[in-house]
């Protein structure tokens, strides 16, 4: 049975490899944090991306990202990365994601992903069993 994950949180600690020359998290690394949180949200909902590939021959690919950088994160910061399913389409999922340091919102993003057939990279409907699990996360 899938866990309900409407407001999913994933902890991240900032390491030196995450930072730029100025000692703050390099802007593109937030996309990695968001990817990890979405993957863990799916896992918490009972959706294995490997199963999607092996059994259904589909994968999720990012189609759009809009990011607002509000404040910097720095070395050794403990962050919380959130992931919320905003909208489920026949072959797509829209997420709102945020990065927090305690009560300070650092970054906010809207990210869209599409379900595509791995062989053609063309949109394909999210399998019904997977859609049910995603509805539990919405």
What's the whole-number mean pLDDT along residues 99-124? Answer: 98
Tell me the per-residue pLDDT of 42-75, one tens digit each, with 9 for 90 and over. 999 999 999 999 999 999 999 999 999 999 999 9
Alpha helices, H only, 47-122: 49-51
CATH no. of 8-137? 3.10.129.10
Helix and strand numbers, DSSP H then E, in the chain: 3, 5
User: Domain residue spans in the chain?
Assistant: 8-137
Q: Establish how many alpha carbons lie within 13 A of residue 118's alpha carbon, considering only the half-sphere containing its beta carbon.
A: 11
Tell me the per-residue pLDDT of 119-134, one tens digit each, with 9 for 90 and over. 999 999 999 999 998 8
> Has 20 been annotated as catalytic?
yes
Q: What is the reported pTM?
A: 0.91
Instruction: Indicate which residue of 20, 54, 76, 86 is catalytic.
Output: 20
């Amino acid at each position: 049975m899938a866990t309900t994950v409407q407001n999913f949180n994933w902890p991240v600690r900032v390491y030196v490899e995450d930072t730029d020359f100025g000692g703050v998290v390099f802007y593109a690394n937030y996309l990695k944090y968001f990817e990890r949180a979405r993957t863990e949200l799916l896992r918490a909902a009972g959706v294995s991306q490997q199963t999607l590939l092996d059994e259904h021959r589909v994968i999720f690919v990012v189609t759009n990202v809009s990011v607002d950088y509000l404040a910097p994160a720095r070395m050794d910061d403990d962050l919380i990365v959130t992931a919320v399913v905003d909208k489920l389409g026949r072959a797509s999922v829209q997420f709102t994601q945020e990065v927090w340091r305690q009560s300070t919102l650092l970054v906010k993003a809207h990210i869209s992903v599409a379900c595509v057939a791995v062989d053609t990279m063309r949109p394909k409907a999210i399998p019904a069993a997977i859609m049910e699990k995603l509805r539990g996360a919405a």
